[in-house]
Structure 1
Amino acid sequence: MKFAALLRSAALVTAVALIPATTATMAQVDGRAGPEFAKLFAVFQRVKASYVEPVEDDVLIRGAIDGMLAALDPHSAYLDGGDLQRLETMIDGNYSGLGLSVVMEDGAVKVVSPFRGSPADSAGIKAGDFITHLDGKLIYGGSLDDAVAQMRGPSGTAIKLTIFRPGRDEPMEVDVTRGVIELEPVTHEVAAGNIGVITVNEFSADVGADVFSAWQEIRKDAAGRPNGLVLDLRNNPGGSLDESVALADLFLTSGRIVSQRGRARGETMLYDAETVYRGDMAEGVPMIVLINAGSASASEIVAGALQDHRRALIMGERSFGKGSVQSLLPLGRDAALKLTTARYFTPAGKSVQEGGIKPDIAVPQISDPDFALRQKYQTRESDLRGHLINELGIKDEEMETDTVADPRFQLTADELKDQGVEDFQLHYAMETLRRTTKSTVALRPARP
């Protein structure tokens, strides 16, 4: 894939806007930065002349770029080589490997989330796990590119992962057989009681159209009119801003979906309902949106819009809290700058930065035997080094977890398994919809 084509596609899958890096833009650098550039060049010269071993220019320049961006927020980055290849892989949605989304955190490879149904998911790898060894070889302190390259490989081949799970005393060794990973953005089913369930795993191209098609299939498969709809956005890290708007628009008849505000001209934009789809495609059908700490960015846009318009009941756990937009600025033919250029706000004017979307009903995933440990060591946007501060201010209580025991959520994972419940949050949402009528909270009139 040519780099230009990659950049065009990236606007669809990474919630970014393409902005040309023009000479005029470069000329706007503050003249007072001259002495600081002189310091940078002086350090470069000293290192070249005096470091104990010879250092290539490109190594020093890349280090300076990475250091500059590290002084910003955790979502701004310089992309080339392996980074751009991973972006291309995400666009293609088809590769051989384990099916993991990972990041580098303080020198360690951390699992953001396993893709649903992937070899990693089937092997029991969870969000928040740290991978310390691959086939017995320590990878701590190495590069993310090298770790990802080792985890990928031909379908059918196996690799041993050493996993450290926060809260456990001993590491685990897990054998995982690589498979062909075909990312499926949207899946659907009809559950007992004529409850439709639509799961959106990522916001890649055409997700809005795919959800529309999924609802049409649910209507055909349901024995009569669907009695409710669960939109599952758990562990969805986000993606295209346009697709999040398209998805929210499917369920709204009027009003604001999201607003985007930035410093640069053209970075302040308003997105309203009925620009993509006219009317509410599931009008009159009670709806619940499931979110958790892995629901970020585009997922939070959809949840925030449907919550503010009171179209859906938001259920689950507080979301990740990423309320910023990244733009992809091309730097030549084979590199780009992913830069945070704007913040986004829900229809009610709330920024989800740091605080995330708070569910209307908090439902813990008690069917997960490691839920308590994962909650204790859960990572959200507010935990990331250098994250943007919510400029509207956020009260401490909005960041706190309710520690009061809820009598509804006292069963253990084993007790739920004996009852045939493998996913308690989804089970609870469907049970709620089965008891829901038009007068209840899951279908509420929009605010005036």
Structure 2
Amino acid sequence: MKFVLPALGSVAAVALFAFSTTQQSAVAVERPAYDDTFEQLELFADVLARVRSQYVVDVDDSELIEDAMNGMLASLDPHSSYINAEAFRDMRMDTKGEYGGLGMEVTMEDGFVKVISPIDNTPAKEAGILAGDFITEIEGKSLLGATLSEAVGQMRGKPGEPINITIVREGEDPITLDITREVIKRQIVKFEDKDGIGYIRISQFNEKAANGLKDAIASLQQEYGGKIPGLVLDLRGNPGGLLTQSVQVSSVFLDGGEVVSTRGRRADDVNVYNGEKGQMAKGVPLVVLVDGASASASEIVAGAVQDRGRGILMGMTTFGKGSVQDVIPLRGGRDGALKITTQRYYTPQGRSIQGGGIAPDIAVSAIPDDGEERQRFSESSLPNAIANEDDEANLAEELTIDYPPEDFDVSDDYQLQKAIELLKSGTYAEKLAEVQG
């Protein structure tokens, strides 16, 4: 990042000017706190100058200020951050569905990288990395103190290059993995016939998701002779993505009407997002599979389907990321970008899922019950997570969970089996009416 110190000076100058003009125009009005902010900026500049002149080794100004900005933003919530120019270029590549690396969505917690979800058909998924794992070392070097951008940068590299990472998983010894980087070409939407029922999986909401879903629906309609007998939409492990795509995906199942609304800090800062008319999958019995790694845009779709009575949610309570981040390019992206939380989002019935997540209509576990209490990894467990503004009204209900038998092979996918069983049982309409209350 270039010309960092002059930029800092210009910020201070703006603050001083605002204070001066306010005093001249309204002497009797209580003095605003601009002078306090200016004093703090002076303090920051003083600390920076002393580090530059007295620290034991030479330092890089741009790195120091980038770390300071990240520290400020990380203190707000887990999702706000400064994105340097290189990382911003990578991010724009990610939303197009292709990049080089290991293939997982990550965040920062307790100074280490925490996995939100590995992505289907990627080196991370095939190596056995799980949601909730901590990545503590890369090539034998600790990640403690590294920024998220730095850690992600270390994990990326040329396709075919190996990388050694160490992960820590609750209740287990550290695990060292040798993984080969690949160009991550995300197959965002997959579909097939499952025992006479249509099955569609969306692994992420990038800009290919809605069109991929429409193509999948069209192919299944042709395969079933025009009418899909029942459909399972699998959003398990889907970490989210683009808000616009979640609205377009919902439009495939909803004939217009509200999908989601967002609200900011001001009472008038409200946006309502409605689906498109048409409902491509009109009348098709629908079960949506979700789990604790279904987040953000996945929860928008799940919440809209549930609130609008369009289908049945099955699985486990979702992750609970109910906040919206704006990515604001700085100088057209030349100085990177600011990612900052600006709004919360709400389901059509006005539920905020921030922190608590969306509880399924039918709770089904993927793994047998071993009798041990398991702590749920969710948005609310992240440091500085934004609290739900109405905790009492939005607390997830205590669920009665259907567990697979003790000797069940988890690779046989108990949740999917139960979804197909419901759609083929002839009781779908009755169950849908029951869960709607």
Q: When the two structures are superposed, what TM-score results if normalisation uses the length of structure 1?
A: 0.82
Residue by residue over 1:11-70, the C-alpha shift from the partner in whole angstroms, topping out at 9 and shown as x without a partner, is xxxxxxxxxxxx9xx979993132232123124214413643454443443343223323
Query: What secondary structure, in the 3-state scheme, does the structure 2 residue paired with 1:31 have?
Result: coil
Q: CA RMSD in A?
A: 3.1
Partner in structure 2 of residue 434 of structure 1: 424
Partner in structure 1 of residue 218 of structure 2: 216
Aligned partners of 1:283, 1:229: CA distance in 2, in Å? 11
**Paired residue type of 2:224:** A
Q: What fraction of aligned residue pairs are identical, expressed as a percent? A: 41
Partner in structure 2 of residue 415 of structure 1: 408
Q: 1:252-331, aligned counterparts within 5 Å? A: 252-263=254-265, 267-273=269-275, 276=276, 278-331=277-330
Q: What are the ranges of 5 or more consecutive residues in structure 1 without an aligned counterpart? A: 1-22
The offset of 1:254, in angstroms, is 4.3
Q: Alpha carbons of 1:82 and 1:27: their partners in 2 closer, same or farther (altered >3 Å)?
A: farther
The offset of 1:363, in angstroms, is 0.9
Partner in structure 2 of residue 133 of structure 1: 137
Structure number with greater CO (CA < 8 Å, separation at least 6) is 1
Aligned partners of 1:139, 1:325: CA distance in 2, in Å? 27
Aligned partners of 1:236, 1:81: CA distance in 2, in Å? 27
Aligned partners of 1:123, 1:181: CA distance in 2, in Å? 15
Partner in structure 1 of residue 414 of structure 2: 424
Matched, 1:174 2:168: no
Partner in structure 2 of residue 10 of structure 1: none
Aligned partners of 1:142, 1:68: CA distance in 2, in Å? 15
Aligned partners of 1:386, 1:139: CA distance in 2, in Å? 20
Confirm or deny: 8 A CA contact 1:114 1:121 kept in the other structure.
Answer: yes
Query: What secondary structure, in the 3-state scheme, does the structure 1 residue paired with 2:236 have?
Result: coil
Residue by residue over 1:408-444, the C-alpha shift from the partner in whole angstroms, topping out at 9 and shown as x without a partner, is 42423x5336xxx522212221122111346322478
Partner in structure 1 of residue 127 of structure 2: 123
Partner in structure 1 of residue 251 of structure 2: 249
Residue by residue over 1:261-311, the C-alpha shift from the partner in whole angstroms, topping out at 9 and shown as x without a partner, is 2246984211223xx2x2332222210111111111111111111101111
Aligned partners of 2:219, 2:434: CA distance in 1, in Å? 25
The more displaced of 234-243 and 312-321 is: 234-243
Aligned partners of 1:263, 1:341: CA distance in 2, in Å? 8
Query: What secondary structure, in the 3-state scheme, does the structure 2 residue paired with 1:204 have?
Result: coil
Confirm or deny: 8 A CA contact 2:262 2:344 kept in the other structure.
Answer: yes
Aligned partners of 1:228, 1:244: CA distance in 2, in Å? 21
Confirm or deny: 8 A CA contact 1:310 1:444 kept in the other structure.
Answer: no
Confirm or deny: 8 A CA contact 1:267 1:341 kept in the other structure.
Answer: no
Q: Alpha carbons of 1:231 and 1:372: their partners in 2 closer, same or farther (altered >3 Å)?
A: farther
Aligned partners of 1:102, 1:46: CA distance in 2, in Å? 32
Q: Alpha carbons of 1:55 and 1:321: their partners in 2 closer, same or farther (altered >3 Å)?
A: same
Residue by residue over 1:105-137, the C-alpha shift from the partner in whole angstroms, topping out at 9 and shown as x without a partner, is 222122221110112211211111122233434
Partner in structure 1 of residue 227 of structure 2: 225
Q: Alpha carbons of 1:337 and 1:207: their partners in 2 closer, same or farther (altered >3 Å)?
A: same
Aligned partners of 2:96, 2:208: CA distance in 1, in Å? 13
**Paired residue type of 2:360:** P
Q: Alpha carbons of 1:438 and 1:27: their partners in 2 closer, same or farther (altered >3 Å)?
A: farther
**Paired residue type of 2:415:** Q
Aligned partners of 2:87, 2:376: CA distance in 1, in Å? 26
Aligned partners of 1:442, 1:265: CA distance in 2, in Å? 35
2:155 to 148, 151, 156: 151
**Paired residue type of 1:409:** Y
Aligned partners of 2:96, 2:309: CA distance in 1, in Å? 36
Q: Which has the larger radius of gyration?
A: 2
Q: Alpha carbons of 1:285 and 1:135: their partners in 2 closer, same or farther (altered >3 Å)?
A: same
Confirm or deny: 8 A CA contact 1:131 1:161 kept in the other structure.
Answer: yes
**Paired residue type of 2:180:** T
1:104 to 80, 96, 108: 108
Aligned partners of 1:236, 1:298: CA distance in 2, in Å? 8
Aligned partners of 2:81, 2:162: CA distance in 1, in Å? 32
Aligned partners of 2:39, 2:97: CA distance in 1, in Å? 44
Aligned residues: 408
Confirm or deny: 8 A CA contact 1:287 1:442 kept in the other structure.
Answer: no
Confirm or deny: 8 A CA contact 2:358 2:396 kept in the other structure.
Answer: no
Partner in structure 2 of residue 83 of structure 1: 87
Residue by residue over 1:52-110, the C-alpha shift from the partner in whole angstroms, topping out at 9 and shown as x without a partner, is 34544434433432233233222221121343133123134223322222222222122
The offset of 1:217, in angstroms, is 0.3
Q: When the two structures are superposed, what TM-score results if normalisation uses the length of structure 2?
A: 0.83
Q: Alpha carbons of 1:66 and 1:34: their partners in 2 closer, same or farther (altered >3 Å)?
A: farther
2:195 to 192, 200, 212: 192
Q: Alpha carbons of 1:149 and 1:385: their partners in 2 closer, same or farther (altered >3 Å)?
A: closer
Partner in structure 1 of residue 378 of structure 2: 380
Partner in structure 1 of residue 354 of structure 2: 353
The more displaced of 92-101 and 379-388 is: 92-101
Confirm or deny: 8 A CA contact 2:302 2:313 kept in the other structure.
Answer: yes
